[in-house]
Amino acid sequence: MFASRGSAVRGLQAVVAAGVAIAGVGLLPASAHASAAAAKSYTYLQFKKNSKDPSNSRLSLVYVQVINADKVRTHTVASWRAGSGLGTASNKIGRDACKSNQGWLPSATYNIGTFYSNHVGTVHGVAWDIGNKKCKGGGKSGTLRTELFIHSEMLTNGKQGTSEPTRWDGNSDYKSYGCIKLKPADVRALKGYRSNYPKPTKLYVS
């Protein structure tokens, strides 16, 4: 009789212990999932203007690896020569962000819109639409710069054309009417990183 009661007690203890263990195991994945959901790595693009030579500015792809809430690593994945505007060391108009079709794009934060592998329009081929942006100061404050892209010079299918603006001829082609321009090999390299990294949604211009 006493043996049976002891067995029953031990059995009850085992059930309670198992229930606690199951509850504990059930809580751990939920907590882990919450942490994983909160920690989301991302990328962004950064365009650094070169006032001495706007056609020799830099566009960089930056990766922010969020390991957890307290541990974040940031590193530049790649950086390329890029240009914006028609500015030179002596051409100040090309450094006026309020000068449509001449000056470089305004310093600001841009939302990166649609990505195109084969864009057709004012620009061709690989392109990122970065939208429109109003300038601040430097002439007519508030001028809206429109149809801004990150692009190169190529045909819609990505191949080189036989004449401007679908043929890359060298460093002079880094100049633009305000868009950010890369040489064909570099714009394809930037496109290639879309397969291995989160797609950038922000562009920071300064």
Residue 2 pLDDT greater than 90, yes or no: no
CA angle, corner 11, sides to 8 and 12, nearest 5? 85
Residue 19 pLDDT greater than 90, yes or no: no
Four-way CATH pick for 42-205: 3.40.50.150, 3.90.1300.10, 3.40.30.10, 2.40.440.10: 2.40.440.10
Using only C-alpha atoms, the chain has a radius of gyration, in whole angstroms, of: 27
Residue 5 pLDDT greater than 60, yes or no: no
Q: Where are the domains of the chain?
A: 1-38, 42-205
Residue 140: per-residue pLDDT: 58
User: φ, ψ for residue 76 (rounded to 5)?
Assistant: -80, 120
Residue 130 pLDDT greater than 90, yes or no: yes
Q: How do residues 75-122 score in pLDDT, each as one tens digit? A: 999 999 999 999 887 788 899 999 999 999 999 999 999 999 999 999
Residue 7: per-residue pLDDT: 47
Average pLDDT for residues 185-200, to the nearest whole number?
97
What does pLDDT average to over the chain? 85
Q: Is 167 left (phi over 0), alpha (psi -120 to 50) or beta?
A: beta
Average pLDDT for residues 134-142, to the nearest whole number?
73
Mark out the alpha helices in 138-182 (DSSP H runs).
none
Residue 175 pLDDT greater than 70, yes or no: yes
